[in-house]
Chains A and B, each alone.
Chain A
Amino acid sequence: MKNVSLELKKGEIFGVIGYSGAGKSTLIRCINLLERPTSGRVVWNGVDLSTLSPRQLRETRRKIGMIFQGFHLLKTATVYENMAIPLKLSGVPKEKIRERVEKYLAVVGLEDKRDDYPGQLSGGQKQRVAIARALAHEPEVLLCDEATSALDPETTDAILELLLKINEEFGITMLLITHEMNVIQKVCDRVAVMEKGQIVESGPVLQIFTSPAHETTRRFVNSLFQIALPRSLSRRDDSGRLVTLFVPSSVGETFWTQISRRFDVLPRLLSGGILHLKGQTLGRWVVHFTGEEEEVNKALLFLQDQGVRIEGVMLHAERNRQIS
C-alpha cells in the first residue's frame, strides 16, 4: 500500500472497493494490526495502536470485531461452543457467557441451531454464527473482510440486511471491504476506491455514484447499470443529442414533464434504471433529445439547475464499458 489515509466516523458504515490485489485485505488487516504498517499510524479513539503492549493490544482487539470471507469457525465445536470458547478465553465470567451467547444468537436469528456443528450449516448460517461470535464481545467496530464474497446473491442480501440492522441497533461502526458494488450500494455511507495499493477516490456514496471521477470508479459504477443500448438506436439519429442523466432523489418528480413544456425539444427515454442506495435513490437514464441545438442546450441547462448531472454518450460499442 502507498500513502493510504482513512478516517472512520463513529457509527458509520464505510466501504472500500477495489479489484483483486488492490490492497484492500492489507488495509483492513492494518486496522487491528494483524499486519503492521511499515510506516504511519493506526489511531483509534486517540490511541496509537502500535504503541500498545501485547496485552493492551489484545484487549483493544476485543473491541474491534472481524468477520471473514471464509467464516473461520471451529469445525469440532458446536455453534454454542464456537461463541462461548472465545468469550471464555477473553475472560468473560461464566454467568455472562450464557447470557451473551443467547442474546447474540437471537440477534442473528439462529437460536435453534445452537447445538449444530458448522458442517451442518449453510454458508449464510455460518456467516451469521461468525457475526454472532464477533458481536458477543460487544465491539465498537466491526471489520468485514469480503464477508459476502462467498455467498450467493440472495444470501448476500440477507447478510447485508443483518449488518444494517446491527449498525442501527447497536451503533457499531463498520468497515467493509469488497469487490462487489452492490454491497457498497446497499449498506455504505461513504466509500473509498482502491487500486494498486492506493486510494484513488473516496467520498459519500451518493456523490461517488453520481459523479465518479476516476476511471476505476466509473467501471465499478457502470457495472451496476445494465446499459445495453442496442446498436440500431445509436445509429438512428445524428441530429439531436444523446445524453445520460443522473437523477438523485433530491430532484423533484415533475422535472421530466416540464422539459417538453418549457422547451422545444422531443425527449425520448431509451434506457434507464433506478438504484436504491441506503436511504436514497439514484436514477440513471439514457435519453435522446431531438430539436434545435439551442433549445436542446437550454433544456440541458435547465436539467442541470434542477440538480441533474449530465454526461454525453459515446455512440459505439465501447459504451457498455465506459461512459464519458
Chain B
Amino acid sequence: MQTFQMVGISLFFSVIIGLPMGVLLVMTRPGRIGSNPFLYQTLNLIINTIRSIPFIILLFFILPFTKWVVGTTIGVKGVIVPLVVYTAPYIARLMEQALFEVDRGVIEAYEAMGIRTRDIIWHVMIREARPSIVLGLTIATIGLIGATAMAGLVGGGGLGDLAYRFGHLRYEAEVMYVTVLLLILLVQGLQVLGNRLADRLKKDS
C-alpha cells in the first residue's frame, strides 16, 4: 500500500541523512575527538530551525524545493521530500542522544589501543548505542507514520488520504474508524517490536 511505500522510502533516506548528522553532532562537540565548534553550531542551528516548523506548514513551505528535487508536488514522490526534510533532523537528534550516552571511557580505551576514529565510531559508538538507536528509530518511524497520514491530505494517497476522502468528504465514518484502528495497530506493533529488539541487544545482564 502507498503508506508503506511512503514510510519505507522516507525512513530510508532520513536515516541515511540523519544518522551521520547525529554522529557529527556528538563528535564535533567541544572536548570530543572531532571537535569543531563552527560545524557544531551550524548543525545545531539548521536542525533546530527545521524542527521548529510544524510538519503541515513545512509541507507547503518547501513546495518549490520539492518540485525542484523530484519534479512534482503530489503523489508519493511529492510527499517524500518534505517527509525526509522533517524526519532526518528528528532522527539526528535521537541518534545524538543515543550516541551521547556511550561511555566516553570506552572510546578513550580504543583510542589508546591505536584504533582509527572511523572504526571507533562504528564498532564502539554505534555498536554500544544499538539498543538506544533501535528505540529511537522506533519513535521516529511512528512519528513518520503520523506525518505520512497528514501528507495524505496533500494528495499523497495512503491512509491519510483514505481517511480524508472517505471519512471526511463522504462522511463514511466507518472507513475513518477502520483507518484509525489500522494506524493504532500498526503503531503498537512497531513499538513492541522495537522494544523487544532493543532488549535483545542490551545484554546488560
The interface of chain A, by Cβ under 8 A from chain B, is 32, 34, 57-62, 64-66, 68, 70, 72-77, 85-86, 89-90, 117, 119-120, 130, 133-134, 137, 143
Contact = CB atoms under 8 A, between A and B. Distances in A.
Interface stretch (B6-14, B15-23, B102-110): B102-110
A74 B205 contact: no
Return the 4 tightest CB-CB contacts between A and B, nearest first.
Answer: A61-B114, A58-B114, A72-B109, A66-B112
Contact of B113 (A70, A75, A119, A137): A137
B127 interface: yes
Nearest to B112: A66
Nearest to A85: B123
B105 A72 contact: yes
B108 A76 contact: no
A77 B110 CA distance: 14
A76 B106 contact: no
B115 A90 contact: yes
A296 to B, nearest CB: 57
B203 A119 contact: yes
Contacts of A143: 112
Name the prevailing secondary structure of the B interface residues.
helix
A105 to B, nearest CB: 17
Contacts of A120: 205
B204 A72 contact: no
Contacts of B109: 66, 68, 72, 130
A119 B130 CA distance: 16
Contact of B108 (A34, A85, A86, A130): A34
Nearest to B201: A76
A74 B128 contact: yes
A130 B203 CA distance: 18
A75 B204 contact: yes
B205 A72 contact: no
Contact of A89 (B106, B112, B116, B205): B116
Contact of A34 (B112, B116, B123): B112
A98 to B, nearest CB: 19
B174 interface: no
B68 to A, nearest CB: 41
B194 to A, nearest CB: 17
A77 B123 CA distance: 10
Most interface-central of A59, A62, A130 (chain B CB within 10 A): A62
B205 A61 contact: no
B201 A86 contact: no
Interface in B83-140: 103, 105-106, 108-116, 119, 123-124, 127-128, 130-131
A122 B176 CA distance: 56
Contacts of A32: 112
Interface in B156-205: 201-205
A86 B203 contact: no
Contact of A72 (B103, B115, B119, B123): B103
A32 to B, nearest CB: 6
Given A68-B105, A72-B108, A60 B114 contact: yes
A76 B127 contact: yes
A62 B105 contact: no
A59 B114 contact: yes
Given A68-B105, A85-B123, A75 B203 contact: yes
A149 to B, nearest CB: 13
B121 to A, nearest CB: 12
B112 A61 contact: yes
17 contacts: A34-B108, A34-B112, A58-B114, A58-B115, A62-B114, A66-B109, A70-B103, A72-B105, A74-B127, A76-B201, A76-B202, A77-B127, A89-B119, A89-B123, A117-B203, A117-B205, A133-B113
Contact of A76 (B110, B112, B130): B130
Contact of B115 (A66, A86, A117, A119): A86
Contacts of A90: 113-115
Contacts of B113: 61-62, 65-66, 86, 90, 133-134, 137
Given A76-B202, A85-B123, A120-B205, 7 more contacts: A58-B114, A61-B113, A72-B105, A72-B108, A75-B204, A86-B115, A117-B204
Contacts of A70: 103, 105
B204 A74 contact: no
B205 to A, nearest CB: 5
Contacts of A58: 114-116
